[in-house]
């Protein structure tokens, strides 16, 4: 999906607290992301989120991306109860520690970083 391409203009230096939180979880958590290029919310939220993951050094094998169709059908949609996109689920082992759905009161990367800090699963 094109929406998973990191935003080249996202300024990691201006978001150091987000990068620090995501870096602390490197190797500890898995990111599962549902979205689609046709989705406006995905086009808005995901490039910055993926820029944050890239800046924090999150390895590709820690990220699973699932593309859905316009009916929001796709891989693992039922298993993870995905009805809104984008949906980002962060897991530590078998435990879900964060879920960003469609929109929140802050950006996806800030929301996830805050949940990572709250979960205290850092290495």
Give tens-digit pLDDT for 26-35. 888 999 999 9
What is the model's pLDDT at position 121? 63
Token pair, residue 116, equals: 């990572």
Confidence class of residue 45 from pLDDT cuts 50, 70 and 90? very high
Confidence class of residue 119 from pLDDT cuts 50, 70 and 90? confident
Nearest by Cα to 91 from 116, 58, 65, 60: 116
Question: Does pTM top 0.85 for this prediction?
Answer: yes
Q: How many CA atoms lie within 13 A of 104 on its CB side?
A: 17
pLDDT surpasses 90 at 104: no
Helix, strand, coil percentages (3-state) for the chain, rounded to 5, are: 40, 20, 40
Once rounded to an integer, what is the mean pLDDT over residues 81-91?
Answer: 96
């Amino acid at each position: 999906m094109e929406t998973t391409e990191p935003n080249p203009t996202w300024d990691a230096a201006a978001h150091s607290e987000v990068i620090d939180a995501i870096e602390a979880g490197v190797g500890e958590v898995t990111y599962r992301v549902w979205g689609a290029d046709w989705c406006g919310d995905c086009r808005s939220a995901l490039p910055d989120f993926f820029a944050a993951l890239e800046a924090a050094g999150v390895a590709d094998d820690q990220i699973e991306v699932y593309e859905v169709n316009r009916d929001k059908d796709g891989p693992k949609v039922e298993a993870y109860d995905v009805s809104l996109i984008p949906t980002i689920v962060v897991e530590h082992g078998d435990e879900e520690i964060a879920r960003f759905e469609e929109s929140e009161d802050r950006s996806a990367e800030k929301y996830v970083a805050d949940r990572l800090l709250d979960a205290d699963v850092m290495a």
